[in-house]
Amino acid sequence: MTLKEVKEILNAEVISGDHDLNKEIKCAFAAELLSDVLALAQEGALLITGFTHSQVVYAADAANLCAILFVRSRWPNEATQQLAIQKKIPLLSTSYMMFETCGILYEYGLKTCALKVEDGKD
């Protein structure tokens, strides 16, 4: 699936990175915790999140993720957008909730991009 297809399926708006929409998305990872992104997301993943601080772009860049999709119509500020442009990480925003966003993409065949955890207890 390409980023362009993700945009169309979810009726998403492209915040930045318009010219990178042909990027192929192999898999996706959803998180509201940056520590989860750094620990579990695999390289090349599409990150689905509601988190819009600039730290989400730094974390995505550190983990070599390919794009960020914000849910619930979340929209990052100008500084975060500029950072994403500089890091060549396209940003998209959809009005769907996290659960719906993931469910729809899953239905369309997008697979998970997370490392398996052995034991999820605290």
Partner 1 sequence: MERTDNNILIHKTFHIEGGNFPNAGTISDQVKKTLKEAGFPNSIIRRIAIATFEAEMNVICYAKQGELSLFITPHSLKVVVDDEGHGILDINLAMSEGYSTADEKIRELGFGAGMGLPNIKKNTDEMILTSKFKQGTHLEFVVYLDRQETHLPFE
Which residues would be at the binding site for partner 1 (CB under 8 A)? 31-39, 43, 51, 53-59, 61-64, 119, 121-122
CB of 114 to partner 1, least distance (A): 13
Alpha carbons within 13 A on the beta-carbon side of 88? 5
What is the arrangement of strands in the sheet containing 46-49, beginning at the earlier edge strand?
A: 13-16, 91-93, 67-70, 46-49, 27-30, 111-112
Q: How far is the C-alpha of 50 from the C-alpha of 46, rounded, in Å?
A: 13
Which C-beta is closer to partner 1: that of 107 or that of 119? 119
Q: How far is the C-alpha of 87 from the C-alpha of 97, rounded, in Å?
A: 26
Which C-beta is closer to partner 1: that of 78 or that of 119? 119
Which C-beta is closer to partner 1: that of 2 or that of 55? 55
CB of 24 to partner 1, least distance (A): 17
CB of 78 to partner 1, least distance (A): 14
Q: How far is the C-alpha of 15 from the C-alpha of 50, rounded, in Å?
A: 14
CB of 27 to partner 1, least distance (A): 16
